[in-house]
């Protein structure tokens, strides 16, 4: 089997992730922060160690500003709904995932003004100049993804961040497609809110994610309840990270996430990046040579994340995905990838595209096999 759907969730996980989760649940599965016994204390230590590892990965100045969530969607909902109030204006782009678009549409119904910028730069990203022109006095926030989950285009978040900071705005980044795959630095990129999945590039299990909350942001909580701290209070504590971590936390998932982040540090970001680049280059080169294939990618290859979309003339995306799965045992994702707006922008709405997203554990041989399979489908040899 060849798994090429790492933009949805990474699979398989490094062996240490499976082992750590198994060991944790068997030997340290107490409820962190809830009791004084050794099992609960061991679980708490693991949570705080993982928080520190994640904070180091994004260069957060304080580990307690990293909040564990269920996934990137959860982090985005907390950042957007915890900040924006009726009358606020927020600027975003037309390459966003529904996990940004849908919360914003809901907030729009409550009086938040949403401005969606279309990409005008040659390379397909939202031009920083257009962003700056769109700002006005009511603008409170800018939210952009780091890389599109449809065509893998990496946007210039450093430039957006500098503009947002200059105008005293809150800058939020959706790093679902880049965390663990690209260096991220919340301090030098002027990021106030960084939302990311734990189960994609960080190699954690499904049900893990995180939100970095910078010092300039005062967020409302969306859930209140037991935190294991300040138990004498009937009101939600204001201290981070507890304010946003009510209820029993996904400790076994976070144990796996910690093992995933340790794996990234062991392998090294430069090695991970270089491997992604070689898989992506091979895939792009091969796809562009297949007759009848239209490839959706970044204009400039240095802005290309390992997520590539394409279509084959004469085929619906779903048909190609089904043949790859059934005839070749290759797993890719087809359709709209929860990003209808991005597909409208790329001209691939409503049928969408076939998306191939290799991960660190894929090989060049697997990419070659996948390209051969697509070539056969295009030549109608595999139907
Ligand atoms: C760009 C982008 N943002 C947000 C999400 C949502 O991530 P999660 O599945 O962790 O909620 C995804 C998921 O694919 C994504 O690609």
Question: For residue 381, what pLDDT is reported?
Answer: 84
Please tell me the distance between residue 382's alpha carbon and the centre of ligand 1 in angstroms: 32
Closest C-alpha residue for ligand 1 atom 14: 8
Question: For residue 133, what pLDDT is reported?
Answer: 97
Task: Give whole-number Cα distances, 72 to 82, 96, 230, 379, in Å.
Answer: 15, 13, 28, 39
Question: For residue 220, what pLDDT is reported?
Answer: 98
With a CB cutoff of 8 Å and minimum separation 6, the contacts of 165 are 171, 190
Residue recorded with tokens 């969730």: 9
Q: How far apart are CA 375 and CA 3, in angstroms?
A: 18
Give the domain ranges of the chain.
15-267, 268-378
Question: For residue 379, what pLDDT is reported?
Answer: 93
**Got the DSSP string for 226-276?**
--SSSTT-SSPP-STTGGG--S---HHHHHHHHHHHHHHHHH-HHHHHHHH
Encode pLDDT of 240-259 as tens digits: 999 999 999 999 999 999 99
Q: How far apart are CA 92 and CA 112, in angstroms?
A: 13
Q: How far apart are CA 321 and CA 341, in angstroms?
A: 22
Catalytic (active site) residue 338: yes
Please list the ranges in the chain whose pLDDT falls under 70: 383
Q: How far apart are CA 282 and CA 279, in angstroms?
A: 5
Question: For residue 154, what pLDDT is reported?
Answer: 97
Determine how many CB atoms are found less than 10 A away from the CB of residue 247: 11
Please tell me the distance between residue 117's alpha carbon and the centre of ligand 1 in angstroms: 20
Task: Give whole-number Cα distances, 188 to 78, 95, 181, 192, in Å.
Answer: 23, 24, 18, 11
Determine how many CB atoms are found less than 10 A away from the CB of residue 74: 22
Encode pLDDT of 187-233 as tens digits: 999 999 999 999 999 999 999 999 999 999 999 999 999 998 889 99
Please tell me the distance between residue 184's alpha carbon and the centre of ligand 1 in angstroms: 17
Question: For residue 278, what pLDDT is reported?
Answer: 97
Q: Which of 10, 80, 99 to mutate for ligand 1's pocket (most ligand atoms within 8 Å of CB)?
A: 99
Q: Could you check whether 15-267 and 268-378 share the same CATH topology?
A: no
CATH of the domain spanning 268-378, picked from 3.90.1150.10, 1.10.10.10, 3.40.50.800, 1.10.1200.30:
3.90.1150.10
Pocket of ligand 1 (CB under 6 A): 7-8, 71-73, 97, 99, 145, 149, 174, 176-177, 197, 209
Out of 72, 288, 338, 370, the active site residue is 338
Q: How many angstroms separate the most distant Cα atoms in the chain?
A: 70
- CATH 3.40.640.10 correct for 15-267: yes
- Determine the atom of ligand 1 nearest the C-alpha atom of 147: 1
Question: For residue 383, what pLDDT is reported?
Answer: 67
């Amino acid at each position: 089997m060849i798994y090429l759907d790492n933009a949805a969730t990474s699979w398989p996980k490094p062996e240490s992730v499976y082992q750590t989760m198994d060991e944790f649940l068997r030997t340290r599965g107490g409820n962190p922060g809830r009791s004084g016994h050794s099992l609960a204390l061991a679980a708490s230590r693991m949570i705080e160690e993982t928080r520190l590892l994640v904070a180091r990965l994004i260069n957060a100045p304080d580990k307690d500003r990293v909040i564990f969530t269920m996934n990137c969607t959860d982090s985005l909902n907390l950042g957007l709904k915890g900040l924006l109030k009726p009358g606020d204006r927020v600027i975003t782009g037309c390459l966003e995932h529904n996990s940004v678009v849908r919360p914003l549409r809901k907030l729009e119904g409550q009086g938040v003004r949403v401005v969606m910028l279309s990409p005008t730069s040659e390379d397909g990203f939202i031009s920083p100049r257009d962003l700056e022109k769109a700002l006005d006095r009511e603008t409170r926030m800018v939210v952009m993804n780091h890389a599109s989950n449809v065509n893998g285009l990496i946007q210039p978040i450093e430039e957006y961040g500098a503009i947002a900071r200059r105008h005293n705005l809150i800058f939020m980044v959706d790093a679902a497609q880049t965390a663990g795959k690209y260096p991220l630095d919340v301090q030098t990129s002027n990021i106030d809110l960084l939302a990311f999945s734990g189960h994609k590039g960080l190699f954690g299990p499904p049900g893990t994610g995180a939100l970095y909350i910078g010092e300039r942001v005062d967020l409302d909580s969306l859930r209140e309840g037991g935190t294991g701290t300040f138990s004498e209070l009937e009101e939600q504590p204001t201290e981070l990270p507890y304010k946003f971590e009510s209820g029993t936390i996904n400790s076994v998932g976070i144990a796996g996430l910690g093992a995933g982040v340790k794996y990234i540090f062991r392998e090294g970001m430069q090695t991970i990046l270089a491997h992604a680049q070689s898989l992506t280059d091979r895939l792009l080169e091969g796809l562009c040579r297949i007759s009848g294939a239209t490839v959706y990618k970044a204009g400039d290859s240095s802005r290309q994340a390992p997520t590539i979309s394409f279509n084959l003339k004469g085929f619906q995306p779903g048909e190609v995905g089904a043949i790859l799965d059934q005839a070749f045992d290759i797993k890719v994702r087809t359709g709209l990838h929860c990003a209808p707006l991005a597909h409208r922008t790329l001209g691939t709405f409503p049928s969408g595209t076939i998306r191939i997203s290799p991960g660190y554990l894929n090989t060049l041989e697997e990419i070659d096999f996948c390209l051969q399979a697509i070539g056969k489908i295009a030549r109608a040899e595999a139907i």
